[in-house]
Amino acid sequence: MERLPKRGEVVFLPFPFSDLSASKNRPVLILQPTTRGDMITCQISSRDYADPQAITLGPNDFVEGGLPLVSYVQARKLFTAHASLMTRPAGIIRIQVLEAVIEHVVSLLRGQQGK
């Protein structure tokens, strides 16, 4: 699945564990495609892990496609990956949801932990 992704797309790719011991094929949100086929992504999980920065992602949050379960965008789990790692598409989220995720990522970078 080598193509250039778009902001707001949800795709599957091998997302590494934080200790880099392994990876798991899981959905990610494309926050921003960058140069040379790289993209900044945010992990999506079907568990919320009681994370105050997690953004709920349900069926109505997609304008196209979707995920089989209500899921949570993990604003704390960012990863830069090459587009060639994408294994399959899942859908495209509403722009309002994308903007909310970006706001949460920015608040984390500014040291603000709550919503």
- Which range of residues forms the domain containing residue 62? 9-109
In this prediction the pTM is: 0.89
Task: Provide the number of structural domains found in the chain.
Answer: 1
What span, in angstroms and rounded, lies between the C-alpha atoms of 40 and 77?
A: 11
Q: Which residue has the tokens 């899921």?
A: 71
Residue 85 lies in a domain: yes
Q: Which two tokens stand for residue 99?
A: 């903007």
pLDDT in tens, 54-82: 899 999 999 999 999 999 999 889 999 99
pLDDT in tens, 14-48: 888 888 888 889 999 999 999 889 999 999 999 98
Find the CATH number of the domain harbouring 78.
2.30.30.110
Residue 114 lies in a domain: no
Residue 69 lies in a domain: yes
Residue 48 lies in a domain: yes
Residue 66 lies in a domain: yes
Residue 43 lies in a domain: yes
Residue 103 lies in a domain: yes
Q: What angle do CA 32, 35, 36 make, to 5 degrees?
A: 125
